[in-house]
Amino acid sequence: MKHTPLIEQHRAHGGKLVDFAGWEMPIQYASVVDEYRHVREAAGLFDVSHMGRIRVAGERALGFLQYMTTNNVAAIPLLGSQYSMVCNPSGGIKDDIFVYHTKPNEYLVCVNASNRTKIVSWFEDHRESAGVSINDESDKMAQLALQGPASSLVLDNAGLTDVVRLKPRTALPVTIRGEHCLISRTGYTGEPGWELYIPSRLVRSVWDDLLKAGHHADITPAGLGARDLLRLEMGYLLYGNDISEETTPVEANATWAIDFNKGDFMGRAALVDQQRRGLDKILVAFELLQKSVPRHGFPILDPASAQPIGEVTSGNFSPLRQKGIGLGYVPAAFVKPATDLSVDIRGKLVPAVTVKPPFYRKPRPAQPEPIQH
């Protein structure tokens, strides 16, 4: 299996290592729920260096990415970022990605670990212009995700005070230990947080520095189990479970990541036709009405007829909601919020109801009491 530069740190912290897309990664250290709570209430530090990082540059880089992705790359300001998707000609999702506008005529595309080779090849196969260069920088660049309400305090304690003022989905080039790095205010947990793009040779020192700087902020290393639970509570998609080349952004309820007005792009005609014809299946969020845990692959049924109508793509028990939550594809007739469903959990039909995601909404700060005169 492949290893990130932090494999020895994971072992030293007692990480339970598993095979994830060919990478030996920590699913947890002490407890998935404990790490989850640290991110919701304090701070967690994730190694996400297994993900792919592709540099697309050149005078025609913008036009190339406009055609290869679903969202409007031209709308990304310098040092801004955007969630998007890469589709095939039939509209099937090859990957969901983040695009960073790092310099004029230069973009950093962050892709899923399982799709890194596929997307690099896909980009190369469709690069027709000498004005575009495509470089896979995944091996020489590592990636950390620092997430949670205390994450700004961690960065401040680490001496990265300028970064703390970043607005969501913006980035800032910084120098750490004499090396050029990029820090963005992005993440996949629903909490305030940052992602750090760091030269691989430096990442072990930065990992240790951040854990030391976050000691009084109750920081903890966090594994992929907590990351999956956090993203599910937000209704965020997981490639290979909720989306694949067999599903489209329209079916995945992700039309907000498509800009049909920007001009032609790969898969556009198929997606427009799908919207015109209507959908056979749509991704919905649901919660169980009895205490149980839905899991990937469990059948979803029509409670009236007890006939299968779909299956769970992602499911878990929400510590925050204290109930089972999940995502799954169902026919259009079952999409409206508050629609009754059933989930077959090891032979028992458990009642469920569709809900509008996210499952987790960060509480608003308390408003001050009015002054009494």
Q: Reduced to 3 states, what is the DSSP secondary structure of residue 4?
A: coil
What's the CA gap between 65 and 58, in Å, rounded? 11
Q: Regarding the domain with residue range 280-355, which homologous superfamily does it belong to in the CATH classification?
A: Aminomethyltransferase beta-barrel domains (2.40.30.110)
Per-residue pLDDT band at 32 (split at 50, 70, 90): very high
**Cβ distance 283 to 356 under 8 Å?**
no
Does the pLDDT of residue 53 top 80, yes or no? yes
Comparing CA positions, the residue from 98, 22, 96 lying closest to residue 54 is: 98
Residue 336 has pLDDT above 50, yes or no: yes
Average pLDDT, the chain: 96
Domain span(s) for CATH 3.30.1360.120 in the chain? 7-48+141-233
Give the largest CA-CA distance in the chain.
72
Range in 98-107, 174-183, 320-329, 360-369 with the lowest mean pLDDT: 360-369
Average pLDDT estimate for 258-278: 97
**Rounded Cα gap, residues 44 and 36, in angstroms:** 8
Rounded Cα distance, 88 and 58, in Å: 23
Which stretch of 117-131, 258-272, 339-353 has the lowest confidence by average pLDDT?
A: 117-131
Q: Chain centroid to CA 285: how far?
A: 17
Q: What is the pLDDT of residue 361?
A: 86
Q: What value does the mean pLDDT take over residues 182-209?
A: 98
Under the banding of pLDDT at 50, 70 and 90, the label for residue 372 is very low
For residue 166, the model assigns a pLDDT of 96
Ranges of CATH 3.30.70.1400 domains, the chain: 52-136
Q: CATH number for the 7-48+141-233 domain, one of 3.30.1360.120, 3.40.50.300, 3.90.600.10, 3.40.50.2300?
A: 3.30.1360.120
Query: Which tens digit of pLDDT belongs to each residue from 296-306?
Result: 999 999 999 99
pLDDT exceeds cutoff 80 at 267: yes
The pairing of strands 43-47 and 219-221 is parallel
Checking if the pLDDT of 371 tops 60, the result is no
What crossing angle do the helices spanning 224-233 and 32-41 adopt, rounded to 10°?
A: 60
* CATH 2.40.30.110 location in the chain: 280-355
- pLDDT tens column, 270-314: 999 999 999 999 999 999 999 999 999 999 999 999 999 999 999
| Residue 148: band (very low, low, confident or very high) from pLDDT cuts 50, 70, 90 | very high
* Confidence (pLDDT) at 128: 84
For 337, residues 6+ apart whose C-beta sits below 8 A from its C-beta are 354, 355, 356
For residue 28, what pLDDT is reported? 98
Each residue's pLDDT tens digit, 150-180: 999 999 999 999 999 999 999 999 999 999 9
Question: Measured between alpha carbons, how far is 15 from 87 in angstroms, rounded to an integer?
Answer: 35
- Predicted local distance difference test score (pLDDT) of residue 368: 43
What integer pLDDT is reported at residue 364 of this predicted model?
A: 58
Can you tell me the distance from the alpha carbon of 108 to that of 103, in angstroms, rounded to the nearest whole number?
9
* d(C-alpha 224, C-alpha 45), whole Å: 11
Determine the pLDDT at residue 369: 45
For residue 353, which of 337, 366, 364 has the smallest C-alpha distance?
A: 337
Burial 19-30 (b: 16+ CB within 10 A, else e): ebbebbbbbbbe
* Residue 44 clears pLDDT 60, i.e. is over it: yes
Name the pairing type of β-strands 193-199 and 179-184: antiparallel
Q: Average pLDDT, stretch 34-53?
A: 98
Tens of pLDDT along 125-143? Answer: 999 878 999 999 999 999 9
Q: Please determine, for residue 353, whether its predicted confidence score (pLDDT) is greater than 70.
A: yes
- Please provide the CATH number assigned to the domain covering 52-136: 3.30.70.1400
pLDDT at position 362: 77
Is 216's pLDDT higher than 90? yes
Q: What share of the chain has pLDDT > 90, as a percent?
A: 96
